[in-house]
Amino acid sequence: MKRILITGGAGFIGSHLCEHLLMLGGYEITSLDNYSSGTPANHIKGVNYISGETEHIEKLINFDPDMVFHLGEYARVEQSFDDLEIVHRYNKIGTFRVIEFCRLKGSKLIYAGSSTKFGDGTLGRNQSPYAWSKASNTELIINYGTWFSLPYVIAYFYNAYGPREIEDGKYATLIGIYSKRMRHNQCLQVVEPGIQRRNFTHVKDIVAGVALAGELGSGDEYGIGCKYSYSILDVAHMFGGSIAMIPQRPGNRMTAEVITEKIEKLGWHPTYKLDDYIGRLKANNFNPLI
């Protein structure tokens, strides 16, 4: 049995990763989560859950993991301008402690990078505090690989959607927000100009990719995303509700390059399509899918 630590294991993507690894078998899984966006409702039977901050990882984790999947960071673009201290605490202090933990324990680190790094050509990495924190973390991890022979994989998730997606609060994501608004007969808000494109990728495809990269991959540039993109207006029209345009927000990129060659060489390909998923939501009166 391989011993696995997942930071953020009670979150949207983290809970699906727990579930996927349990389905594969051969893993003993522990989650470390501070429940800032995760919830006990996402707990998966068979996983050991520890509540706490990644900055205290050395005190909270008393075993030597074979692999650490680091998903437990602050993960919103526009809101990061107002949450500078939280971004620094979670994404800089916490992640540094996770990297050091992996170095000291001899664990392979699988880091959930952000596709914002590739947004709008060379501009994406500096468009928001969140984007910069994530991009600079990837550079630190690469350096740790050179300096200390740290085994690592850096994966980049593209606009995850699917069951357990957050619908409320600062961590809510687009498909979840639109689903809730449709249930309540509210208009769908689209940030101007609406033509910004995103590569929406089903969460089950994402966790299949990151698990594969964790086992077989090495190094940077494991992009896990559907190559076809939709504009935000496209998505709103798929839902079929009335649309209200709202002013642009800082950090809101227009495009992002999708780099999937390395994960495809390991045998990964997306199996879900956004329009099919939205069709299933419509058939379910926009209630969350299981």
pLDDT digits (tens, 9 = 90+) for 221-234: 999 999 999 999 99
Contact 174, 129 (CB under 8 A): no
Residue 238 in contact with residue 200, Cβ under 8 Å?
no
Q: Give the count of alpha carbons within 13 A of 117, CB side only.
A: 23
| CATH of segment(s) 2-283 | 3.40.50.720
Spatial separation of the C-alpha atoms in residues 159 and 156, rounded to whole Å: 10
What pLDDT is attached to residue 122? 65
Residue numbers of the chain with a pLDDT score lower than 50: none
pLDDT of residue 253: 75
Q: Tell me, what's the pLDDT at 119?
A: 75
Mean model confidence pLDDT for the chain? 95
Centre a 10 Å sphere on the Cβ of residue 90 and count the other Cβ atoms it contains.
Answer: 23
- Segment (H or E) for 140: helix 129-148
